[in-house]
A and B are shown apart, each in its own frame.
Chain A
């Protein structure tokens, strides 16, 4: 036994001397001598063949040898590792500068009008509304007649319109989408409709022949003017802040009765009066009212059984107020230095 151990030790010393500069070889030696099927383990197993006396003596010897080999191998490996990391530190370029600019991928921006549409529609979705879209090329019936705007009536004046062939037209408001939805769905109706609308207005800082609106419609049994006030007040506070005040003024829209124009307290001056609100402290923000019974009946909804409210607002106006933009044309010029600000 003594001899076997000596032989192992000698073999190790020799191998170690050959391998000492190479971490890989040293790892191999670890397996060869200390592994599960390594030489020392094999010897250890043969201890059972020795006498009662010799067993503890040689057991101790084997363990001592094991420790010795382990120590040598590990010591060498640690030293090698240190040298490697030191070497790689040396290889680093001398001008390494941690303050050099980050190498990053640009991220793009969502158009500010889309952001406002998403925000507004999103908060109505939270209340339980659905988002619905409608065609931009419309019939006279859906854009006007069904909404109680008769032909050759002064109320059409507010809705100057681009016409296509055969009396088709570009919708002058998002309201025709209400009609289309009600034609296909029975109440309750809880929708908001975002989209492009068109009016032949000469373009300037506050007018555009193409712009965006969001329309809301709620039809159910027992809907009242008080509900209209409730929903719009939550909307105004969610969009413009909890302290926003709101007021309703009587107005006229052919498709609602009673009708109201809704103002919010000026978000620039908080109602004290400034140039944006014309010193009034109030900003006109949307039109609304209880849905006119003729509109309901045009969609086969029984106006004695159901009632509802509708409202509409201009997206560009809200975006201009929110972001402090003073020219509507900026939205459609798409200067990337403008778009990337949002």
Chain B
């Protein structure tokens, strides 16, 4: 909101320079975000928090300055004519919706001489960025910025049936507002109507038909209090927001309604030469109860944590306009009606603290308690550990948007069921929450490849979201993607990344968490991956990883021209819960080990794992390490076969193995391999 310094000075003496004033009111909570010097005036831009509608006017700000500086507010001249509580014979105000409109006043003003606004008024309005039309319309606008009360002037001669009714609109009714837009109404919207038609949307904007024009002679001046929620709903529904509804939504001062009408009447008389002899009609208003708050000054001091004296507290509250009664060390505080934000004792604490000065309060370290629970949950620690380990392996962490388009999810063949749908998305780009991490990483890969970044080793620790029945779930995932080369240097040349690079990363995650019992299962049916290069790892009947080469069609959908894209996804919580936390010492072997090699020729469709399993089984604990050290296919062996070479390290914990012992088990292994896998020795 814009506030003019010269205008403020009409209501309160200000002796400090504008910069000093800006600082003072900022530290009282009126945040001056910028100020602008022009024509001997300073215009402040002030951010006003939603709890202080009483600051949304020059008088409101002047009142605060008066409290801070101790200078008295100057009285504002008004038309002193007392309001009447009954409708006069010739005009009728009828309030049908009393809860939507607890107070409505009208005043008939006759014989206006419509002309441009006088220089002083036009200047003030222009400085704060308001539009000027003519004196008849500008006065209500001026009063809004002066007193904070939005008012409206109807051309009296255009109101039909000599009456206005405050009521809900009926379905099918419409109005053309002064901005020239036709607006459809319904029964959620509060309106002002004459005998025949809507003439204003209550608290938001008047109708075009009844607006004040150059030809207007007589007006009905409305000053009212509308229910904030009703106004807010209507404003939202119509997509229409004005200075007026901004204030009604935040609460205007219901006791100020007549005063503002009296102020406007005086201006109409002085500025337009109008006849203001008819009093304001103020029917059906029952005064609001005055709110009282009990406050304990010891506790007040204690919550702030500063040595504020009782006298200081009293002075501050009095200056802010609060009534004060003291009884046995306790205060009873009477709250002025314009301070509707004040409800409880803690509100009083804030008033005292902010005026006394936040900056005067000491900085004290509290005594924090030691806690038995770890500072980080197991899940949080698991994520930290994964991050450390994966960056150590050369992977970069990414963080991506969790809201995506359904098009993207479909293109990545993400599950169609149980998707989490945003009801009010900003655009189709963000209509769903992701249920797959693949989409997110493919988008990162696409961005990087488009920018000629070709080595893409990335991971993300993020969530996938599901909507199952009435419940929503969100699960932490680790996603890994590899594109580019596994190594690339002058000595070893280069090799592209492959499935086994990815498998290595996944298994080293398991290793990091001490997970040793898991099985690899080939999966030929996962639509996200190439059928021959996809597998899952299973531990205790749960999938703890899915990994593979991304399906070519999906890559095309994401405009990724690189063919070899590898992706893995691991549920972090399943890994965290399987994490080995207790380690027990086993003695380092005391007896020497013996290493023997085996080279087998087997049919190509025999998996390395099946040979490993046999060796493991027969060696029955004597083989401490089995390594595949060579895989060969080529001219030296038959076409449909491959050669697997294993090195087996035998060792016993009980004694030094003799030549005979080793030979025995080794030949048993050879026999098992040759019979079960139809393997030949090389």
Given the complex of chains A and B, what is the CA–CA distance between A250 and B27 in angstroms?
6
Given the complex of chains A and B, what is the CA–CA distance between A249 and B27 in angstroms?
5
B365 within 8 A of A: yes
A261 within 8 A of B: yes
Q: Kindly list chain A residues whose C-beta atoms are within 8 Å of the C-beta of B451.
A: 335, 337
The contact of A339 among B34, B349, B396, by CB within 8 Å, is B396
Q: Kindly list chain A residues whose C-beta atoms are within 8 Å of the C-beta of B490.
A: 100-101, 103
Given the complex of chains A and B, what is the CA–CA distance between A270 and B305 in angstroms?
29
Given A107-B391, A109-B397, residue A190 in contact with residue B347 (CB < 8 A)? no
Contact assessment for B472 and A168 in the assembled complex, using a CB-CB cutoff below 8 Å: yes
Contact assessment for A155 and B50 in the assembled complex, using a CB-CB cutoff below 8 Å: yes
With A231-B366, A234-B365, A292-B346 known, 20 other A-B pairs at CB within 8 A are: A101-B490, A105-B394, A107-B392, A108-B390, A111-B399, A114-B397, A130-B373, A152-B233, A154-B250, A162-B422, A162-B425, A163-B423, A200-B426, A225-B306, A225-B361, A226-B304, A258-B304, A258-B350, A336-B453, A339-B396
The 9 A-B pairs with the shortest beta carbon distances in the complex, nearest first, are A224-B305, A226-B305, A258-B350, A250-B29, A128-B368, A252-B49, A250-B354, A108-B391, A248-B358
What string of 1s and 0s marks CB contacts (under 8 Å) between B420-444 and chain A? Answer: 1111111000100100000000001
- Looking at the assembled complex, report how far the CB atom of B562 sits from the nearest CB atom of chain A, in whole angstroms: 14
B229 within 8 A of A: yes
Q: Which of B49, B370, B375, B379 has the most CB of A within 10 A?
A: B375
The contact of B371 among A111, A154, A164, A190, by CB within 8 Å, is A190
- Looking at the assembled complex, report how far the CB atom of A286 sits from the nearest CB atom of chain B, in whole angstroms: 14
Q: Kindly list chain B residues whose C-beta atoms are within 8 Å of the C-beta of A158.
A: 50
Contact assessment for B371 and A332 in the assembled complex, using a CB-CB cutoff below 8 Å: no
- Looking at the assembled complex, report how far the CB atom of B555 sits from the nearest CB atom of chain A, in whole angstroms: 18
Given the complex of chains A and B, what is the CA–CA distance between A222 and B369 in angstroms?
13
Contact assessment for A164 and B375 in the assembled complex, using a CB-CB cutoff below 8 Å: no
List the B residue with the shortest CB-CB distance to A303.
B346
Which residues of chain B have a CB within 8 Å of any CB of chain A? 26-29, 31, 34, 49-52, 228-229, 232-233, 249-250, 302-306, 344, 346-347, 349-350, 353-354, 358-359, 361-366, 368-371, 373-377, 379-380, 384, 387, 390-403, 420-426, 430, 433, 444, 447-448, 451, 453, 455-458, 463, 465, 467, 470, 472, 474, 489-492
Can you show 24 pairs from A to B with CB atoms below 8 A apart? A105-B394, A108-B391, A108-B395, A111-B399, A130-B373, A130-B376, A135-B474, A154-B50, A162-B425, A164-B467, A209-B401, A210-B401, A226-B363, A226-B364, A229-B363, A230-B363, A248-B361, A250-B28, A250-B29, A250-B353, A252-B50, A258-B350, A335-B451, A339-B397
8 Å CB contacts to B: which residues of A8-56?
none
Contact assessment for A223 and B366 in the assembled complex, using a CB-CB cutoff below 8 Å: yes
Contact assessment for B423 and A165 in the assembled complex, using a CB-CB cutoff below 8 Å: yes
A106 within 8 A of B: yes
- Looking at the assembled complex, report how far the CB atom of A271 sits from the nearest CB atom of chain B, in whole angstroms: 14
A257 within 8 A of B: yes
A325 within 8 A of B: no
List the B residue with the shortest CB-CB distance to A292.
B346
Q: Kindly list chain B residues whose C-beta atoms are within 8 Å of the C-beta of A170.
A: 422, 433
Contact assessment for A128 and B29 in the assembled complex, using a CB-CB cutoff below 8 Å: no
A188 within 8 A of B: yes
List the A residue with the shortest CB-CB distance to B392.
A107
Q: Kindly list chain A residues whose C-beta atoms are within 8 Å of the C-beta of B347.
A: 257
Given A164-B472, A252-B49, residue A225 in contact with residue B366 (CB < 8 A)? no
Given A111-B397, A251-B49, A293-B346, residue A200 in contact with residue B424 (CB < 8 A)? yes
- Name the interface size band of chain A: 35 or more
Q: Kindly list chain B residues whose C-beta atoms are within 8 Å of the C-beta of A260.
A: 358
A182 within 8 A of B: no
Contact assessment for B396 and A164 in the assembled complex, using a CB-CB cutoff below 8 Å: no
Given the complex of chains A and B, what is the CA–CA distance between A24 and B632 in angstroms?
36
Given the complex of chains A and B, what is the CA–CA distance between A231 and B305 in angstroms?
14
Q: Kindly list chain B residues whose C-beta atoms are within 8 Å of the C-beta of A234.
A: 365
DSSP class of A's interface residues: helix, strand, loop or mixed?
A: mixed
Q: Kindly list chain A residues whose C-beta atoms are within 8 Å of the C-beta of B472.
A: 137, 164, 168
Contact assessment for A334 and B444 in the assembled complex, using a CB-CB cutoff below 8 Å: yes
Given the complex of chains A and B, what is the CA–CA distance between A153 and B228 in angstroms?
8
What string of 1s and 0s marks CB contacts (under 8 Å) between A236-268 and chain B? Answer: 000000000001111110000111110000000
The contact of B361 among A118, A129, A226, by CB within 8 Å, is A226
The contact of B396 among A220, A225, A227, A340, by CB within 8 Å, is A340
Given A110-B391, A152-B229, A293-B344, residue A227 in contact with residue B426 (CB < 8 A)? no
Contact assessment for A114 and B399 in the assembled complex, using a CB-CB cutoff below 8 Å: yes
- Looking at the assembled complex, report how far the CB atom of B295 sits from the nearest CB atom of chain A, in whole angstroms: 13
Q: Kindly list chain B residues whose C-beta atoms are within 8 Å of the C-beta of A307.
A: 303
Given A109-B391, A125-B375, A290-B303, residue A227 in contact with residue B397 (CB < 8 A)? no
Contact assessment for B467 and A222 in the assembled complex, using a CB-CB cutoff below 8 Å: no
A to B contact number (C-beta, < 8 Å): 241
The contact of A224 among B51, B302, B359, by CB within 8 Å, is B302
Given the complex of chains A and B, what is the CA–CA distance between A292 and B347 in angstroms?
9
A58 within 8 A of B: no
A3 within 8 A of B: no
A218 within 8 A of B: yes
Contact assessment for B396 and A108 in the assembled complex, using a CB-CB cutoff below 8 Å: yes
The contact of A164 among B361, B402, B422, by CB within 8 Å, is B422
Contact assessment for B398 and A252 in the assembled complex, using a CB-CB cutoff below 8 Å: no
Contact assessment for A133 and B377 in the assembled complex, using a CB-CB cutoff below 8 Å: yes
Given the complex of chains A and B, what is the CA–CA distance between A290 and B391 in angstroms?
40
The contact of A336 among B375, B424, B448, B489, by CB within 8 Å, is B448
Contact assessment for B232 and A258 in the assembled complex, using a CB-CB cutoff below 8 Å: no
List the A residue with the shortest CB-CB distance to B347.
A257
Given the complex of chains A and B, what is the CA–CA distance between A8 and B221 in angstroms?
138
What string of 1s and 0s marks CB contacts (under 8 Å) between A131-152 and chain B? Answer: 1110111000000000000001
Contact assessment for A154 and B423 in the assembled complex, using a CB-CB cutoff below 8 Å: no
A127 within 8 A of B: yes
8 Å CB contacts to B: which residues of A313-339?
331-337, 339
Q: Kindly list chain A residues whose C-beta atoms are within 8 Å of the C-beta of B354.
A: 250, 258
Given the complex of chains A and B, what is the CA–CA distance between A135 and B390 in angstroms?
25
Given the complex of chains A and B, what is the CA–CA distance between A107 and B390 in angstroms?
9
- Looking at the assembled complex, report how far the CB atom of A252 sits from the nearest CB atom of chain B, in whole angstroms: 3
Contact assessment for A332 and B394 in the assembled complex, using a CB-CB cutoff below 8 Å: no
Given the complex of chains A and B, what is the CA–CA distance between A130 and B489 in angstroms?
45
Given the complex of chains A and B, what is the CA–CA distance between A107 and B393 in angstroms?
6
8 Å CB contacts to B: which residues of A108-128?
108-111, 113-114, 118, 125, 127-128
Given A247-B359, A258-B353, A335-B451, residue A108 in contact with residue B401 (CB < 8 A)? no
Contact assessment for A109 and B396 in the assembled complex, using a CB-CB cutoff below 8 Å: yes
Q: Kindly list chain A residues whose C-beta atoms are within 8 Å of the C-beta of B396.
A: 108-109, 111, 336, 339-340
Q: Kindly list chain A residues whose C-beta atoms are within 8 Å of the C-beta of B401.
A: 209-210, 332
Contact assessment for A164 and B420 in the assembled complex, using a CB-CB cutoff below 8 Å: yes
A198 within 8 A of B: yes
- Looking at the assembled complex, report how far the CB atom of A284 sits from the nearest CB atom of chain B, in whole angstroms: 9
Contact assessment for B400 and A332 in the assembled complex, using a CB-CB cutoff below 8 Å: yes
Given the complex of chains A and B, what is the CA–CA distance between A276 and B664 in angstroms?
78
Given the complex of chains A and B, what is the CA–CA distance between A103 and B458 in angstroms?
21
8 Å CB contacts to B: which residues of A194-214?
196, 198, 200-202, 209-210
Q: Kindly list chain B residues whose C-beta atoms are within 8 Å of the C-beta of A94.
A: none
Q: Kindly list chain B residues whose C-beta atoms are within 8 Å of the C-beta of A153.
A: 50
Q: Kindly list chain B residues whose C-beta atoms are within 8 Å of the C-beta of A105.
A: 393-394
List the A residue with the shortest CB-CB distance to B53.
A154
A166 within 8 A of B: yes
Contact assessment for B375 and A131 in the assembled complex, using a CB-CB cutoff below 8 Å: yes
A90 within 8 A of B: no
List the A residue with the shortest CB-CB distance to B47.
A251
Q: Which of A107, A132, A137, A170 has the most CB of B within 10 A?
A: A137
Given A154-B249, A307-B303, residue A196 in contact with residue B364 (CB < 8 A)? no
List the A residue with the shortest CB-CB distance to B393.
A108
Contact assessment for A231 and B365 in the assembled complex, using a CB-CB cutoff below 8 Å: yes
